[in-house]
Structure formats: C-alpha cells, structure tokens
Chains A and B, each alone.
Chain A
Amino acid sequence: DAKTTQPPSMDCAEGRAANLPCNHSTISGNEYVYWYRQIHSQGPQYIIHGLKNNETNEMASLIITEDRKSSTLILPHATLRDTAVYYCIVRVTQGRDKIIFGKGTRLHILP
C-alpha cells in the first residue's frame, strides 16, 4: 500500500469548514483514497472514500487532485464533536485488504 503524509495537528473554529490535507504521491492507479476518524478511546469510523472523482456524503467531501497525488477532506461546518484524529489511507479494495494506518491528523475544534 502507498504511504500517506498528513500534518500532525490542526485547529479549526467551530462552525467553519475544516480542510484536512493528505499527500499520497506514490499512489497506484488501482488504489483508492480512504478517510477514517477516531474519537478518543473509540474505534475508527469510516468517513468517505474515492478513486479520482470528488465525492460527497452526509459527513464530508473528498477532493482529489487531478494527478491523484494529494487529496483534501472537507468537514463543511465543524462542530466540537468532530474533534478526533483523522486518518488518510490509500489502498486497493481487493487482495489482503490490509489497512495501513499512519499517525493521522489530530483535529481540534475550537469553541
């Protein structure tokens, strides 16, 4: 699986959009970009994933650059409950299906 690079921490004001970047310059053509988040002392929660097109669901939007070497997760209206560690992962969806979690970005939502 390709490796990802994320900033260790970010702050965002409550009610504003939180934009979390991720670099994955060695991504392969058949690898998807996945985002999970983990609230303290809980299991990770799936947020969204995409291959090359931008994606949106009820939780977030995922913007993938045209060369697929980086992406941004957008939480449109951040709340205090969005305080968590956010993991960006690239992986194929078949085969061993192992998820490699890095250290992620610790997002602090400020009241």
Chain B
Amino acid sequence: DGGITQSPKYLFRKEGQNVTLSCEQNLNHDAMYWYRQDPGQGLRLIYYSQIVNDFQKGDIAEGYSVSREKKESFPLTVTSAQKNPTAFYLCATKPSRAGYEQYFGPGTRLTVT
C-alpha cells in the first residue's frame, strides 16, 4: 500500500445519501486515480487527475464527483445519482515520469442499503 491511505476500510450508508471517500498520499505523486471494482470483475476507472486543480472523467463518472485542491488529496463523492453505489473503491497514484507503474491504496468497501 505504500504511502496511500484510504479510510475507512468499510463504509455503510443509507440510500439517497451522498458519501465522500478519502484518498491521501505522501508519495509526492502527481497523478491520482479512482477505480471501482464489483465482485468478480476487473477495475473500472471513475475519475483521474494528472495535476492539482485538474481532473478528467473516466469510463464510469456518472453519479460521482471529485476535487483535487491539494496534491496529497483526491476525495471521491458518491452521490445519490449513482444507481449502484455498493462496490469496492480503489485509489491509485503515479509519478508523472514515464515508465512508472500505478500504486494502489488498500481500498474502501462501500455498502449502500
């Protein structure tokens, strides 16, 4: 997991509530990513940010929002518009230098009932 913190490990919410998942890193990496993983499936990209104050939609951005006000932090908000929010959410970071891999955090398992 390195210097990537995602908390809490497990999160429970009622349907219709917005919830914000935190991702903090002390690796001084420029790029940060949010992925979603459903049981038995691969990872799907929600949002990514290459630099502070800039972010781009991934493949499944609908119902999610992000901010990148600091290099160290890339919080993800799951809004009530997300139809199936229950999933395992993974944050990743990467240095801007080419050839380096992404490092993943431990993940947050969100359950919405």
- Mark A residues whose CB is within 8 Å of B: 34, 41-46, 49, 87, 93-94, 96-104
Contact = CB atoms under 8 A, between A and B. Distances in A.
Interface string B11-45: 00000000000000000000101010000111111
For the complex, would chain B's binding face be called helix, strand, loop or mixed by DSSP majority?
strand
Q: How big is chain B's contact interface, by range? A: 20 to 34
7 tightest Cβ-Cβ pairs between the two chains A and B = A43-B104, A101-B42, A101-B43, A46-B101, A93-B98, A102-B42, A44-B104
A104 B42 contact: yes
A66 to B, nearest CB: 22
Given A43-B92, A44-B104, A97 B31 contact: yes
For the complex, would chain A's binding face be called helix, strand, loop or mixed by DSSP majority?
loop
Interface of B: 1, 4, 31, 33, 35, 40-45, 48, 56, 58, 88, 90, 92, 94, 98-107, 109
Contacts of A98: 45, 48, 58
A93 B100 CA distance: 8
B101 to A, nearest CB: 4
